[in-house]
Amino acid sequence: MSIEQDTIVRVLVRDRAVLLAYIWAIVRDNHLAEDILQDVSVLAVNKRDEITDEEHLHGWLRQTARYKSLTALDKRESSPMRLDDRVLEALEAGWRSESADGGTADLVDALQHCLGKLSGYAKHLVELRYAEGLSGQKLADAVDRNLNTVYVALTRIHRSLGDCVRQQVNEQQA
């Protein structure tokens, strides 16, 4: 018996951030990761007759995302150094265990909530650091601040986000 298209769409929407993070960990390029996620999503809907249930879908998504990511890296002229297969297996195992306990979606929701509470400057620093990949002096130059000032700000942001996420998760579990 094949999986329903509605189930595929629901899983893709619910687990989008986790799957995107998995892909990004392999390709380390935001735009490429988004493109691959879209390709995997369309392929999942098109191949629904071959997917039996939600558990099978999770494994299929991981394997397809990994394959598409590695293929995309092989095709790029200036791709980042490819991750060792042992690292990819560790990512796979971690993703599989997080998916099994269902906690990842809660963490993503908590982080999004907490990111929304940051000041404009803090959001800008986080965007430059993690979405744009700037670090060190390039990050300091981008915000026209002293390098040490940026490091102190990022440390405070990390601490604030960590405290906020823990609080959000505790409230959800209560």
CATH number at residue 125: 1.10.10.10
Would you say the C-alpha torsion 22, 25, 30, 33 has a positive or negative sign?
negative
Q: Is the pTM of this model over 0.85?
A: no
Nearest by Cα to 103 from 34, 57, 166: 166
Task: Please tell me the predicted confidence (pLDDT) of residue 43.
Answer: 93
| Token code pair at residue 30 | 């935001």
CB contact set of 126 (below 8 Å; sequence gap of 6+): 115, 118, 157
How far is it, in rounded angstroms, from Cα 111 to Cα 158?
11
* Amino acid identity, position 116: G
Burial call 98-127: b when 16+ CB within 10 Å, e when fewer = bbeeeebeebbebbeebbeebeeebeebbe
The answer on 155 and 124 residing in a single domain is: yes
- Containing structural domain, residue 22: 5-101
The answer on 92 and 115 residing in a single domain is: no
The answer on 149 and 125 residing in a single domain is: yes
CB contact set of 152 (below 8 Å; sequence gap of 6+): none
**What's the domain count of the chain?**
2
Task: Please tell me the predicted confidence (pLDDT) of residue 102.
Answer: 53
98-115 pLDDT, tens digit each: 555 555 566 677 778 888
**Percent of the residues in the chain that have a pLDDT greater than 70, as a whole number:** 82
The answer on 18 and 77 residing in a single domain is: yes
The answer on 109 and 94 residing in a single domain is: no
Side-chain half-sphere exposure of 25, counting CA atoms within 13 A: 19
Q: What helix, strand, coil percent values describe the chain, rounded to 5?
A: 80, 0, 20
Among candidate residues 53, 85, 101, the one where a domain is terminated: 101
Would you say the C-alpha torsion 49, 52, 58, 59 has a positive or negative sign?
negative
Residue whose token pair is 């989008």: 16
Please provide the average confidence, as pLDDT, over all residues in the chain.
Answer: 82
Among candidate residues 70, 101, 132, the one where a domain is terminated: 101
Is the pLDDT at 158 greater than 60? The verdict is yes
Q: Of the given ranges (11-15, 28-32, 48-52, 159-163), which has the lowest mean pLDDT? A: 28-32
Among candidate residues 101, 123, 139, the one where a domain is terminated: 101
